[in-house]
A and B are shown apart, each in its own frame.
Chain A
Amino acid sequence: MFVIIRRDLLIAARRKSEVLTALFFFVIVTSLFPLGIGPEPTLLKKIAPGILWVAALLATMLGLTRMFAPDHADGTLEQMALAPTPFGLLVAGKVVAHWLVSGLPLVLLAPVLGIQFGLDAGALGIMMIALLLGTPLLSLIGAIGAALTLGVRGGGVLLSLLVLPLYVPALIFGAGAVEAHLSGLDVTGHLSLLAAMLALAVFFAPWATTAALRIALE
């Protein structure tokens, strides 16, 4: 599994532009909202969690097609399926690598962007924790969608259609955690639900993704 992670990270390092594009997308989208809605501080502070989360969602979705399509195109996905190591383990490795390249930078960037919305340190901290729990969840669920739509017509748009309904619970609880903090309410409920969803996804998503990949390779 670590071999795959190392391999994907090496490739990502050689193709920095793809990775950075998604990150810049995240930055630009979050910056568009104050420009479109108006600079009133209280309003911005209220909508900040939602905006950051939606932007994170969209940025993750941009990178989902990159997860399996290149490997499928050059035949390395087949070799992974034929390797003696369990396919599920290799797929899990790919998801981890995807998260390290697409999700973790979002977690680190979010506080910087949160400042421009006027979020205080406590809210930023909750935001980071929520994103830390949420972005792996997005990668795991997105992997299922990417595997199902591998090589299918209308790939990117179809992928969004499949994956966004499944993302909604993560969005609700992730943004909800920060909003709860801003209203002075308890955040542990939201965060623990997010953690529970992550735990469920860690167990089931790789299995579903592997099944979908095998179907795509048939």
Chain B
Amino acid sequence: MNNRIIHWFKYASPQSFYPLAGKMIPWFWATAAIFGAIGLWISFFVAPTDAQQGEGYRIIFIHVPASWMSMFIYCIMAGWAGIGLALNTRLSGMMAQSLAPTGALMAFLSLWTGAFWGKPMWGAWWVWDARLTSELILFFLYIGFIALQAAIDDPRRADKAGAILALVGVVNVPIIYFSVKWWNTLHQGSTINMTKAPSMATTMLWGMLLMALCFWMYSIAVALSRVRAIILERERHTEWIKGVLN
């Protein structure tokens, strides 16, 4: 048992993490595909037609998981960035850098699907209510993070500067999450709580959870692929990379 614990720290170096990530990626793609298949089947065929919204509501199965993931990924990214800042590890900064584009994609997807849902249902593509605005701010925070890291040439400085930005912005995530509770505006109230029983049909709930898991597995797979690319780029002067590339 002791051996297993010590071995985990070995993977904190890019050199050992690279092959490990390579082995893990296909598994995550596979689970993402499985969850996605079941989730989509449930969302389109099993979940009942909504009493008020008809068929169009099914976009919720993309919208809600995307929103959850956008917030979740930001917290994970800020966490990795914070660890990189505190412990001065290179791999943590690389993980944060690899998560950012996926998180930005999720935020964009959430805003886009939200607009497509909102137009037929409530007659508006966009409304400046608390949740939408804070999700938009989250999207801009992702873009700012990516832009800042792109503008700084020195990778170590880029990691640390990005970490500070990510940590400052993390205060936005609870605002998004609780905004529907604090301000009663257009966005519908949260239907899934930690404490109370959800107020929607169980099949719908399962559909959303499975799609969320699918997005999660997808995010991990993509982030691992991206971190491998980042490792290749940053460590290209070292000996072991030259071995890998030959």
Contacts and interface: CB of A to CB of B under 8 A. Distances in A.
Interface of A: 144, 148-149, 152-154, 158, 161-162, 164-166, 168-169, 172, 200, 204, 208, 211-212, 215-216, 218
10 contacts: A144-B164, A148-B148, A152-B148, A153-B151, A165-B137, A166-B169, A215-B157, A215-B160, A216-B157, A216-B161
A212 B165 CA distance: 9
B144 A162 contact: yes
Q: What is the interface of chain B mostly: helix, strand, loop, or mixed?
A: helix
B24 interface: no
B143 A161 contact: yes
Contacts of A152: 148, 151-152
A168 B133 contact: yes
Interface string B209-222: 00000000000000
A161 B164 contact: no
Interface string B145-184: 0011001100001001100110111011001000000000
B161 A212 contact: yes
A165 B157 contact: no
B44 interface: no
A161 B147 contact: yes
A165 B141 contact: yes
Contact of B140 (A165, A208, A215): A165
Contacts of B151: 149, 152-154, 158
Nearest to A168: B137
Nearest to A204: B168
A24 B55 CA distance: 55
A165 B144 CA distance: 9
Contacts of B152: 152
Contacts, number: 55
Interface of B: 85, 133, 137, 140-141, 143-144, 147-148, 151-152, 157, 160-161, 164-165, 167-169, 171-172, 175
A137 to B, nearest CB: 13
B184 to A, nearest CB: 13
B229 to A, nearest CB: 23
Contacts of A158: 147-148, 151
A202 to B, nearest CB: 14
A208 B166 CA distance: 11
A164 B164 contact: no
A211 B147 CA distance: 19
A212 B164 contact: yes
The 9 closest A-B pairs by CB, nearest first: A165-B140, A162-B144, A165-B137, A215-B160, A152-B151, A148-B161, A153-B151, A212-B164, A161-B144
B152 to A, nearest CB: 6
B135 to A, nearest CB: 11
Contacts of B169: 165-166
Nearest to B144: A162
B18 to A, nearest CB: 27
A212 B157 CA distance: 10
A148 B164 contact: yes
B185 to A, nearest CB: 12
B133 A172 contact: yes
A170 to B, nearest CB: 12
Given A152-B148, A152-B151, A172-B133, 12 more contacts: A144-B164, A144-B168, A148-B164, A153-B151, A158-B148, A158-B151, A161-B144, A162-B144, A166-B168, A204-B168, A211-B164, A215-B161
A6 to B, nearest CB: 29
Contacts of B171: 200
B148 A149 contact: yes
B140 A161 contact: yes
A169 B140 CA distance: 14
A148 B165 contact: yes
A162 B165 contact: yes
Contacts of B140: 161, 164-165
B103 to A, nearest CB: 14
Nearest to B182: A193
B143 to A, nearest CB: 7
